[in-house]
């Protein structure tokens, strides 16, 4: 069998893992660890913690995200997740090397800690630490271009030339998937996001995945949707698990507009298309044509219907 590498792509919201050579990851699950107090023995023994992956529906207030906004805040949780992934793959691939993707926001201390966990605790034979955005560029068959990556915790724009990041053009925006979720949560339930209410979280997640889209023109889309009679568009209706129908407002369905017009949602910073322009202009003029002709979108938020079309439209019509 040809040598394979175990690949771990650990984001703020989800972890993807699998073997090199496959077209898609073999493991995808939320980047969540759950800490449940327990007692190993009956009697006066002191409380212990049982650590598991995902959300325990019996203890919905005990989970946490080890990685937040691209930064590792809970190394114990990250180690537990990596251990689970490696154990699953090592059943058949004991001595395979490992590749772990890194956030551009990593610190030198983060790299040292990652190597310590992998070599000393997980006993991997070799490891490569790879930049997430750089790997996305290579996956598209490019060495030069602009990567637009919008995931759960971060939205980033990074130009590359011949495989090297042009640091002067790198940008991190102040909004991502979790901000969209928080907006929908508050809009649907009239309260700030409560991450321990599993029923409400499931409602928000389902609404995002099945009902939301990016309009090509916000004003026109709002005028059209507001002119529709109530109940005339079945896509505006979401059914709760108990069967209760909820009719979504136009802005709830158009919530991904946040990535292009953050000021509409009281968020700071430029929209994503403007950030791409600023990133390119921050680089040397000689590489502008190459960067402009290779803009690559990746990350979960770019999968909303209309996202890439809107990005292309704004870049072409308004800037290039």
Domain coordinates in residue numbering, the chain: 6-30+68-139, 141-320
Alpha helix segments (H runs only) across the chain: 75-90, 108-116, 132-139, 177-189, 198-211, 218-226, 250-253, 272-281, 288-292, 307-314
At the top level of CATH, the class of 141-320 is alpha beta
Top-tier CATH class for 6-30+68-139: alpha beta
Percent share of the chain, pLDDT over 90: 58
> CA-to-CA distance for 138 and 161, rounded, in angstroms?
12
What pTM value is reported for the model? 0.86
- Supply φ then ψ for residue 56, to 5 degrees: -85, 115
Domains 6-30+68-139 and 141-320 share a fold: yes
Quote the CA–CA distance of 303 and 298 in Å, as a whole number: 8
What's the mean pLDDT in 171-197? 82
Q: What number of other Cβ atoms are within 10 A of residue 76's Cβ?
A: 11
Mean pLDDT calculated for residue range 248-260? 92
The confidence band for 185, taking pLDDT boundaries of 50, 70 and 90, is confident
- How far apart, in whole angstroms, are the C-alpha atoms of residue 218 and residue 137? 30
Reported confidence tier of residue 158, pLDDT bands at 50, 70, 90: very high
d(CA 167, CA 150): 18
Dist. CA 253–CA 225, nearest whole Å: 10
- Neighbouring CB atoms inside 10 A of 272's CB total 27
In this prediction, residue 198 carries a pLDDT of 61
Q: pLDDT band at residue 319, thresholds of 50, 70 and 90?
A: low
At residue 195 the predicted structure's pLDDT band, cuts being 50, 70 and 90, is low
Q: For the chain, give the mean pLDDT.
A: 86
307 compared with 226, residue with greater pLDDT: 307
């Amino acid at each position: 069998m040809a040598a394979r590498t175990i690949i771990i792509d650990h984001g703020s919201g989800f972890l993807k893992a699998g073997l090199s050579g496959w077209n898609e990851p073999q493991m995808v699950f939320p980047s969540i660890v759950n800490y449940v107090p327990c007692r190993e023995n009956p009697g006066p023994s002191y409380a212990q913690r049982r650590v598991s992956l995902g959300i325990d529906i019996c203890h919905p207030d005990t989970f946490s995200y080890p990685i937040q906004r691209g930064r590792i805040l809970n190394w114990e949780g990250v180690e537990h997740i990596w251990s689970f992934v490696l154990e699953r793959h090592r059943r058949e691939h004991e001595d395979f090397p490992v590749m772990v993707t890194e956030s551009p926001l990593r610190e030198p201390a983060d790299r040292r800690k990652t190597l310590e966990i992998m070599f000393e605790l997980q006993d991997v034979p070799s490891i490569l630490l790879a930049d997430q955005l750089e790997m996305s560029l290579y996956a598209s068959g490019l060495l030069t271009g602009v990567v637009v990556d919008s995931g759960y915790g971060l939205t980033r724009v990074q130009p590359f030339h011949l495989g090297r990041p042009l640091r002067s053009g790198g940008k991190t925006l102040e909004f991502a998937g979790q901000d969209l979720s928080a907006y929908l949560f508050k809009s649907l339930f009239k309260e700030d996001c409560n991450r321990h209410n599993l029923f409400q979280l499931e409602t928000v997640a389902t609404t995002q995945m099945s009902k939301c889209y990016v309009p090509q023109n916000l004003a026109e889309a709002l005028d059209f949707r507001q002119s529709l009679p109530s109940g005339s568009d079945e896509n505006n209706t979401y059914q709760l698990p108990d069967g209760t129908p909820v009719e979504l407002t136009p802005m709830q369905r158009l919530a991904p507009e946040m990535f292009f017009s953050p000021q509409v949602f009281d968020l700071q910073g430029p929209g994503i298309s403007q950030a791409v322009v600023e990133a390119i202009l921050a680089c040397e003029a000689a590489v502008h044509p190459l960067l402009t002709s290779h803009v690559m979108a990746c990350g979960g938020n770019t999968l909303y219907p209309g996202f890439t079309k809107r990005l292309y439209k704004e870049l072409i019509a308004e800037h290039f």
